[in-house]
Amino acid sequence: MKKCRLMAPGPTPVPDDVLLKMAKPIIHHRTPQFQAVLKRVNAKLKDAVKTINPVLILASSGSGAMEASVVNFLSTGDKAIVIKGGKFGERFAEICSAYGVETVDYDVTWGESADPDIVDEMIKKNPEVKVVYSTLCETSTGVVNDIKAIGKVVSQSDTILVVDAISGLFADKFEPDNWGVDIVVAGSQKGFMLPPGLGFMSVSKKAQELAGKSNLPKYYFDVKAALISHANNNTPWTPAISLIIGLETVLDMLLEEGLENVIERHARLAKVTREAIKAIGLEVFALSPSNALTSVKVPEDIDGTLIPKMMRDEQMVTIAGGQAFLKGKIFRIAHLGYMDVFDTISTIAALEVVLSELGHKVEMGKGIGKVQELLKSDKR
């Protein structure tokens, strides 16, 4: 018997109810039956993303939605500020570059969050900038950016703010409309608790106006076609029907639990995981850690690539290693989506054993005890 635990920052475990809902016979997408699903899902999505703007559902991964947030709002030779503090910030810059958009890069040290004052200065120095791109949670480092403060700064200019909330949504506090976020980009395989295959993009009025002026080429990700279809509870291309059927169930779950409670749940798991990490004698990598995941520095006496490998192959607990130059230097434990306190206890239990087997001195149960605190009735 091998019981696997998925504790990586995406894809995240899918609740059984959702898996079974998606396993129902497929229905046709050009029917009143599916349009009714889309109508309900579109409304619930707005509630869940906390926006009054339409939230488009794309048949793509999150990277496709990131591309959509570039090609629809900019023109050749336009300038955009990109906040780069990890792999996903860099992805925005790569997409801009692929489409001939000039980027003004804010290279944040990996592990740190962006300084809103620097963003302010950059906008003032480059008043021709049309869009500012930021991540909410930078999954590669585990950092959460202060989008509220960045939004305040951007709101004072004519530029729009695009936020990659792919891994941060439902884990970190996020109020796109109140904070001046024009475009929220998301993906299905993180806080949405679905398999990968859906991208999401909300579009503010200001962003829709900008879309009218954009000359970058697009077709599959054309936001104008998608907005027209969206208004009719339809999609321009064949949608990923089964995932959208599952989407309705997870939206119901999230809204029933209450969005504040969902975030609080992530925050609590993140907090005790970090206390466990400290109790084990390790150090958290991110200076402003997101609730979505905890990035942990690998102790110097250990080959860091072995930790996720042994966790997965020997303990059947899938966590993530470091990406790019952080490979072997950090590992990442998620608190994202359908993960609870017992999953976290199991993860820390496995980690204590793996570290010990790698020759690092660990007192068994010391980390677990910290997570166990959450089991006391007053904290549940």
Please pick, from the candidates 39, 46, 87, 94, the single residue that binds a second copy as defined by CB under 8 A.
Answer: 94
Is residue 316 involved in binding a second copy (CB under 8 A)?
no
Q: 241 or 259: whose CB is closer to a second copy?
A: 241
Q: How many CA atoms lie within 13 A of 226 on its CB side?
A: 26
Instruction: Tell which positions 113-152 bind a second copy, by CB under 8 A.
Output: none
Is residue 241 involved in binding a second copy (CB under 8 A)?
yes
- Give the contacts of 176 (CB within 8 A, at least 6 positions apart): 49, 50, 51, 53, 163, 165, 184, 202
Angstrom distance (rounded) from CA 330 to CA 298:
5
Return the number of other C-beta atoms located less than 10 Å from residue 287's C-beta: 12
Which range in 124-132, 214-222, 295-303, 358-366 contacts a second copy by CB under 8 A? 214-222
Angstrom distance (rounded) from CA 316 to CA 280:
21
Is residue 366 involved in binding a second copy (CB under 8 A)?
no
Q: What is the DSSP string of 294-326?
A: EEEEPPTTS-TTHHHHHHHHTT-EE-EE--GGG
Q: 32 or 376: whose CB is closer to a second copy?
A: 32
Is residue 322 involved in binding a second copy (CB under 8 A)?
no
Q: 309 or 379: whose CB is closer to a second copy?
A: 309
Could you tell me the smallest distance in angstroms from the CB atom of residue 59 to a second copy?
5
Which range in 13-21, 115-123, 255-263, 325-333 contacts a second copy by CB under 8 A? 13-21
**Tokens coding 323:** 């990406």
165-178 burial: b if 16+ Cβ within 10 Å, else e? bbbbbbbbbbebbe
Is residue 221 involved in binding a second copy (CB under 8 A)?
yes
- DSSP-derived pairing of the beta strands 160-164 and 131-135: parallel
Q: 22 or 123: whose CB is closer to a second copy?
A: 22
Which range in 102-110, 175-183, 195-203, 280-288 contacts a second copy by CB under 8 A? 195-203
Is residue 255 involved in binding a second copy (CB under 8 A)?
no
Angstrom distance (rounded) from CA 18 to CA 272:
28
Please pick, from the candidates 240, 250, 272, 284, the single residue that binds a second copy as defined by CB under 8 A.
Answer: 240
Please pick, from the candidates 1, 28, 325, 376, the single residue that binds a second copy as defined by CB under 8 A.
Answer: 28
Angstrom distance (rounded) from CA 173 to CA 188:
18
**Tokens coding 5:** 């635990």
Is residue 228 involved in binding a second copy (CB under 8 A)?
no
Angstrom distance (rounded) from CA 277 to CA 333:
10
Please pick, from the candidates 45, 67, 250, 335, the single residue that binds a second copy as defined by CB under 8 A.
Answer: 67
Strand, coil or helix: 370? helix
Residues that bind a second copy (CB under 8 A): 4, 6, 8, 10-14, 19-20, 22-31, 59-64, 67, 94-95, 98-100, 187, 189, 195-197, 216-222, 237-243, 312, 318, 320
